[in-house]
């Protein structure tokens, strides 16, 4: 069982999203001690922004690519291989300015690749190739953007993750959106984190039962 764990908070300590993704991995490991975890922190190993050379190489058929084009794409090729090889993807990140941290957006930009993570069909439609993977997003938020809150409409994070990964074939990703974490009410913050751990317990149980 191979799990790709991707953290995107730039915090080196006291990150809620990193704490929760580590908690989830530990829940899996408890029942399955030999899981193979492929860890990436996009804030440390930050995927580079896309360049004109990358875009040209990406849209050149693989058989026509020059050596230079292959080199430009090699980081992205490896990232796609890591995701395609995984049985589970666990991505944890804080909400930044209503969406994802830019390092995770760069991660997505390298992951959405024709003939790797998606295929173009003869009729012009596309088929995503990450449909086998179980996918979990843990998102931490300072404010409360749950349905019913005045901030609900400002949540551009969950729709963006849903769209990008659905394009790559992940039709049913699981979300644990943890909020509000920047409340002055310490009890509320502790309750929200406890609820997140309970959700993660039940997702781990469900996923392990499915294997
Ligand atoms: C640069 C920056 C931008 C942020 N933008 C938002 C935001 O748009 N909405 C929100 O609810 N919280 C926002 N926050 C708060 C974080 O999402 C929140 O503190 C989160 O729990 C941090 O997770 P972490 O501890 O894993 O880094 C922002 C924090 C920072 C540092």
pLDDT one-digit tens code per residue, 114-146: 999 999 999 999 999 999 999 999 999 999 999
176 lines ligand 1 (CB under 6 A): no
9 lines ligand 1 (CB under 6 A): yes
12 lines ligand 1 (CB under 6 A): no
Mean pLDDT (the chain, rounded) = 97
Task: Give mean pLDDT, residues 158-173.
Answer: 97
Ligand 1 atom nearest to CA at 14: 25
129 lines ligand 1 (CB under 6 A): no
Cβ–Cβ under 8 Å, residues 117 and 168: yes
Question: Given pLDDT bands bounded at 50, 70 and 90, which one contains residue 4?
Answer: very high
175 lines ligand 1 (CB under 6 A): no
Residue 29 has pLDDT above 90, yes or no: yes
C-alpha 60: how far from chain center: 27
Cα atoms found within 13 Å of the Cα of residue 94, Cβ hemisphere only: 16
CA–CA separation, 168 and 46 (whole Å): 21
Q: What is the pLDDT of residue 58?
A: 96
The CA–CA distances, whole Å, from 30 to 15, 90, 105, 163 equal 22, 16, 31, 32
CA of 143 to the centre of ligand 1 (A): 8
Question: Which of these, 160, 157, 164, lies nearest to 141 by C-alpha position?
Answer: 157
pLDDT, one tens digit per residue, over 65-75 is 999 999 999 99
Structural domains for the chain: 2-210 (3.40.50.360)
pLDDT, one tens digit per residue, over 68-115 is 999 999 999 999 999 999 999 999 999 999 999 999 999 999 999 999
């Amino acid at each position: 069982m191979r799990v790709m764990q991707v953290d995107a908070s730039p915090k080196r300590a006291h990150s809620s999203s990193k704490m929760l993704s580590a908690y989830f991995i530990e829940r899996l490991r408890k029942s399955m001690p030999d899981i193979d975890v492929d860890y990436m922190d996009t804030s440390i190993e930050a995927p580079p922004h896309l360049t004109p050379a990358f875009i040209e190489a990406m849209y050149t058929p693989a058989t026509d690519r020059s050596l230079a084009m292959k080199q430009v794409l090699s980081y992205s090729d490896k990232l796609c291989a890591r995701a395609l090889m995984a049985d589970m993807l666990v991505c944890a990140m804080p909400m930044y300015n209503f969406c994802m941290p830019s390092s995770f957006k760069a991660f997505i930009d390298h992951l959405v690749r024709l003939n790797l993570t998606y295929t173009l069909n003869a009729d012009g439609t596309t088929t995503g190739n990450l449909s086998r993977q179980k996918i979990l997003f843990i998102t931490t938020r300072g404010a409360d953007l749950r349905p019913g809150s005045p901030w609900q409409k400002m949540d551009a994070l969950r729709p963006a993750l849903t769209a990008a990964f659905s394009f790559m074939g992940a039709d049913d990703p699981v979300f644990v959106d943890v909020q509000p974490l920047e409340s002055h009410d310490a009890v509320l913050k502790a309750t929200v984190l406890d609820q997140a751990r309970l959700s993660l317990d039940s997702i781990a149980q469900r996923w392990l039962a499915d294997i």
